[in-house]
Structures are given as C-alpha cells and as structure tokens.
Structure 1
Amino acid sequence: MAANATLFVAMPFDEFQELIQNTIKNELKKFSIVPQPTPQDDLMSIEDAGALLHVSKVTIHKWKKKKLIQAYRIGRKIYFKRRELIEAINSTVLIRGKTKVSIN
C-alpha cells in the first residue's frame, strides 16, 4: 500500500473521539516543556511566611516595607519565596527587638 493511500475504517464514534484525544495529548506533550519550580522557590502567603519565621503578619509587613525581604504581588495577594526569606533572615541579626543588617 502506498504511503499516501486513503484508508476508510468503520469505527464507533466514541472510539474515534478517544483516538483523536489521545493523539492530540501525545503531540502536545512534545511541546509543553514547563519548568518545574524547585521546592525552595515555592511561593508562600504572608501567613505561611510568618509561620516559617515565627513572627506575626504585622512584622512581615514591616520587614517588607523596610525592604528586608522581597515580596511579589499577584493580583491583590502578596507572596514570598521561601529561599529568599531564609536568605534574608540568615543575613540579618536582631538586636533588642530592632533589626540590624549584619556585615556577613
């Protein structure tokens, strides 16, 4: 049989629809290369960030305003990257309740 020959096969509509869906899914998988975020780059809400750092939401907002921690806004919500929070805390020192940046 020639490579460009037309072939007609009797097939139930549901089988035909499933065959097309599977073919499209398999072809789209070739093009969908989505980078998976690393666990340390997980976005955290203010509540999660406060729980991680053992501080209140007010403290998180104050640190964000002083630019001690980097915040990301998506719509009306504010998120923080876990890795950046840990790095920021490791690079700062608390002295009598006030934040002082260390020289490390």
Structure 2
Amino acid sequence: MTKQILQLENTNANDFENKIINRVELLIDGLAKKMQVNTPDTLLTRQETAQLLSVSLVSLWSWTKKGIIPAYRIGNKVRYKKSEILLALQQMNKF
C-alpha cells in the first residue's frame, strides 16, 4: 500500500475547512433535491408498493389494516400514494 501526500499552498487551515464544509453542504443539498418525489401523487398497485417496501403482500395488507400505510380503493382495486408510502417509511425509520 502506497502512501499519498497532498500538499496545499496559499491557504490556511480555516479557509480549507470552510471550503470543504461548503462543498459537502452543496453535495448534500443536491442529493436531497434528487431524492425528492417528482410526482407525489403517483398511485401504486399493491404489488408495486410491496416491491418498493421490500415486503410481502401479506405484510403490506397487515400494515394497511393497522393504519400504518393508507390505502385507497378505486372500484375493486387497492392503490397507494407513493408520497404517503415514502412518508410512512420515514416515520417507521424514526423508531
């Protein structure tokens, strides 16, 4: 394993630290914008929702019945709003 050395000139420690912090903040902001839901009211089928959550249809049905994930009945079909699924996921991860 070779050791690499980085030499910086014409900058002090505080300026260098601030530049790194600013760049990291910009990258985080860009990542946050990419992760935002573009179409918040996209309706998903049961299968799509289960796949998004990586759970079985039985688990999805159980969570729906317990009120953890809201579902909508359109005729005889059950649909889930993608924005509400992602919000429920965030709330589950808080525990």
TM-score category of the 2 structures, normalised to the smaller one: 0.5 to 0.7
SS at match of 2:59: helix
Alignment of 1:13-92 (within 5 A): 39-92=39-92
Taking only aligned residues, the RMSD between alpha carbons, in angstroms, comes to 1.5
Unmatched 5+ stretches in structure 1: 1-37, 94-100
Instruction: Please identify runs of 4+ aligned residues in structure 1 that moved more than 2 A.
Output: none
- TM normalised by structure 1 equals 0.52
Unaligned runs of 5+ in 2: 1-37
Question: Deviations along 1:41-95, whole A, 9 cap, x unmatched?
Answer: 10000000001111011111000000000000001100000010010011014xx
How many residues in Structure 1 have an aligned counterpart in Structure 2?
Answer: 58
Letter paired with 1:89: L
The structure with the largest strand share of the pair is 1
For 2:65 and 2:77, locate their aligned partners in 1 and report how far apart those are by CA, in whole Å. 15
By how many angstroms is 1:40 displaced? Answer: 2.1
Structure exhibiting the larger radius of gyration computed from Cα positions: 1
- Which of 1 and 2 has higher RCO (CA within 8 Å, sep 6+)? 2
Inter-partner Cα distance in structure 1 for 2:42 and 2:85: 11
Structure with greater helix share of residues: 2
